[in-house]
A and B are shown apart, each in its own frame.
Chain A
Amino acid sequence: MKVLKNKHVPYVLIIPLLIAFAVLIGYPLFNVLKTSFYKATFLNPSASVFVGFDNYSWLFNFKLYNPNISYFMAAFLKSLLWVGMSVIIKVVIGILAAVMLDSKYLIGRKVYRSLLVIPWAIPWAIAAMMWAWTLNSQFGIANSLLLHLGLVQEPVSFFATTTGAFISTFIIDAWAGMPFMVIMFISGLQNIPEALYEAARLDGANAVKSFFKITLPIMKPVTLTVSLLSMVWTFNSFDVIWVLTQGGPARATETLPIAIYNASFRMLRLGGIGKASAMTIVQVLVVTFIAIFYIRTLKEDTA
């Protein structure tokens, strides 16, 4: 131990992490990049043939179910819309819920907050099964509630139409991500000095006005950080859709992660892991792009 100088200590401590990153992330990333230039199937990954950029042109040329748009582009655009909607819900509802749950007028704040984190601890795949049953058109309580409240006349088949399934899945995804958002927003709200609101009240501002004039501007950096993080997580979301619709009906919920999975492991003849790797590279690029913004906002935060 004596031989080791103090300045070497951090390197020794950090080496396991670097090795883990190199082996578990670096090498797989390299591997996916490499595979994206090969024709290969998961049946026999080692027997692959170099095909140059074929897999990338496949992304834009291969049309399967829709003659107007390539298989990849359809999934990619669907993903963007799906993620966008889910994140908007999470942010808007999340901020409003945070303001409510942080309000000093709310009785039982602690109880609410404990209850709120329950969905966070439920595995997404299992949560999706619970939702499938809750939203069952004949026997679920969601429809029962809607009928009892007179909001609908006939039970709603949430997953039966393309639009219905698309909306239902992103709302369920928003549900799953909501506890994290609300908790982050609440901790942001707690940093706002009460004095600011007092001052506004003296100037005659009402609750709505001070929400827009004080709360929102101060919350902007937190909101930005959290939305970017949630954007990435949502972009990678697989379990919810897989369990609920498997990408159906009529491919309406086949987002990029679902398409990657299908191309890798289900489209034996038309897909393959080479093509799936090319799609994965796009996925990685999108995530990296968002990550750059995210890291920037973090830096500004701490500057």
Chain B
Amino acid sequence: MKKFVVLLLVVLLFAGFAFSKETLRVLMPIGGGYTIEDQEAIGEEFEKANPNVSIEMEFVGWDNLWNKIVTSIGSGSAPDIMYIGSRWIPALADLGAILPLTEYISEEKKATYYDSVWETVGYNGDYWGIVRAMSTKAYIYNKDMFAENDLEIPQNWDELHAAAKAIHDPDNGVYGIGLAGKRFVSTVTQFQQYLYANGGNIVNPEGDAIINNENGVGALEFYVELSNYSQPGISEWKREDLVKLFETGKIGMFIDHIHNAKAAEERGINVGIFPIPKGPLGEKPYSTVIVTDCISISSQSKNVELAVEFMNFMTSFDNQKAWDLTLGFVPPMVEEKNLPEFQTPFWKQYVEAIQYGVPEAVNIKDWEGVQEAIVDSLQNVILGNQTAKQAFDTAAYIINLLQK
């Protein structure tokens, strides 16, 4: 028995040497639709095609992802491949944490995606990631409520305001529109929809804060005006919770992802979708914030070639298509839009929104800090502590500090 054990150990030891593999460490998010199995499956497939490579995936919750990335870079133990929110690119690029990928992206690969998709991963003239997941937003509305009040689909903010007002019936627990105002990540994206629809932005191409210009202040004023016809106490609601209000017939409309439109439909709501209409100062007829997540390569990677190979494998047309369909993301590749799955009335609205899209964060060097400043302003105005102009002047001051 003893001999057998020794023998076994020796064999195992040799086996270990004989098949020593190249390891690729990959950091992946978990939560918010991302499952472990789906992602590990891709790694296994790649291992099958490349027997001498071993893919080691580490999963981190979205709440911890940013901290995990920056701390592992600080301690010199960054994974080869990191899945990141594209809004973090400027900060990570400035830290020297991720590699510019422009030279690794073939013309062919480049043509696969929309230009506005590439914009989300650009900084300082380089591309720093390949988009893996994308979302556009649109209004999800209750068709029955619109019909009862003889409402047409709003084409501008006045009509939007009128629709919310018409539906609003707080005595019966029905509110015109669902809005988010909690101190939370998604609150900023929710507000940005209005900011961009009004032709505003957080910073200009030079990186200076312009959130306090008339587009920005106008958007904030409108947001707060709308809150008169929203569910009460919006500063305790985050976007993720609004769908429950919609599913239970308590709000007439709200801005969200497609999968929440489907969820509400399954629960028997007569759901419709319409694009986000422009504000008084907006130029394009419709608007949406384009949020992307991308795959980037750590500057500490010792195996960049292999990492690029795996990155391309992950984002191949077939893998990307499967990914978008399982998770309900808006397809970032031009070809995907012709797939029969994306021809439904719901999907069409989200896919068509891409052409009006503005990236979530370009040239913002400390997204987390900017986000806090915007939420604070938003809440201060909602709670009546400050006027929209005052609040955004403060925000602009802070953003300029952060952009230095």
Contact = CB atoms under 8 A, between A and B. Distances in A.
Note whether A and B contact each other (Cβ less than 8 A).
Answer: yes
Interface of A: 42-45, 64-65, 137-139, 154-155, 157-162, 165, 245-251, 265-270
Contacts of A267: 369, 372
Contacts of A44: 74
Interface in B349-395: 365-366, 368-369, 372, 375-376, 379-380, 382-383, 385, 394
B233 interface: yes
A250 B385 contact: yes
B232 A161 contact: no
Interface string B73-92: 11000000000000000010
Contacts of B184: 246
Contact of A266 (B95, B235, B372): B372
A137 B183 contact: no
B236 A268 contact: no
B181 interface: yes
24 contacts: A42-B74, A43-B73, A43-B95, A137-B233, A138-B231, A138-B250, A159-B236, A160-B181, A160-B234, A161-B233, A161-B235, A165-B236, A245-B183, A246-B183, A248-B376, A249-B181, A249-B235, A249-B236, A251-B376, A265-B67, A266-B369, A269-B366, A270-B398, A270-B402
Given A155-B232, A159-B233, A248-B235, 20 more contacts: A43-B73, A43-B74, A44-B74, A45-B74, A65-B394, A137-B231, A137-B232, A137-B236, A138-B245, A138-B250, A159-B235, A160-B234, A248-B375, A249-B383, A250-B235, A250-B376, A250-B385, A266-B369, A269-B401, A269-B404
B49 to A, nearest CB: 36
A160 B182 CA distance: 8
A160 B379 CA distance: 9
B400 to A, nearest CB: 11
A154 B398 CA distance: 38
Contacts of B375: 248
In this complex, the member of B170, B233, B250, B383 whose beta carbon has the largest number of chain A beta carbons within 10 angstroms is B233
A139 B235 CA distance: 16
Given A42-B74, A65-B376, A248-B183, A268 B369 contact: yes
Contacts of A249: 181-183, 235-236, 379, 382-383
Contact of A250 (B71, B95, B234, B380): B380
B398 A157 contact: no
B232 A248 contact: no
B162 interface: no
Nearest to A244: B236
A174 to B, nearest CB: 20
Contacts of B67: 265
A77 B244 CA distance: 37
A154 B369 CA distance: 36
Contacts of B231: 137-138
In this complex, the member of A138, A247, A266, A270 whose beta carbon has the largest number of chain B beta carbons within 10 angstroms is A138
A160 B235 contact: yes
Contacts of A154: 170, 232
B366 A162 contact: no
Given A65-B376, A248-B183, A270-B402, A43 B233 contact: no
B91 A270 contact: no
A126 to B, nearest CB: 16
A73 B73 CA distance: 33
B383 A161 contact: yes
B264 to A, nearest CB: 16
Contacts of B401: 269-270
A157 to B, nearest CB: 2
B70 interface: yes
B106 to A, nearest CB: 33
Contacts of A43: 70-71, 73-74, 95
Contacts of A251: 376
Nearest to B184: A246
A13 to B, nearest CB: 38
Contacts of A268: 70, 91, 366, 368-369
A157 B369 contact: no
Q: List the 8 shortest-distance A-B pairs measured between CB atoms, nearest first.
A: A157-B233, A160-B233, A248-B183, A159-B236, A249-B235, A250-B379, A43-B74, A249-B379
Nearest to A267: B369
Contacts of B74: 42-45
Nearest to A163: B383
Contact of A157 (B71, B232, B402): B232
A160 B236 contact: yes
Nearest to B234: A160
A99 B372 CA distance: 46
B207 to A, nearest CB: 13
A247 B380 CA distance: 13
Contacts of B233: 137, 157, 159-161
B244 A250 contact: no
A31 B368 CA distance: 27
A266 B383 contact: no
A267 to B, nearest CB: 6
A65 B231 CA distance: 27
Interface string B103-124: 0000000000000000000000
A153 to B, nearest CB: 10
Contacts of B383: 161-162, 249-250
A161 to B, nearest CB: 6
Contact of B183 (A64, A139, A247): A247
A154 B232 CA distance: 10
B242 to A, nearest CB: 11
A246 B371 CA distance: 13
Nearest to B97: A43
A154 B175 CA distance: 13
In this complex, the member of B73, B369, B372, B385 whose beta carbon has the largest number of chain A beta carbons within 10 angstroms is B372
A49 to B, nearest CB: 16
A248 B95 contact: no
Contacts of B398: 64-65, 270
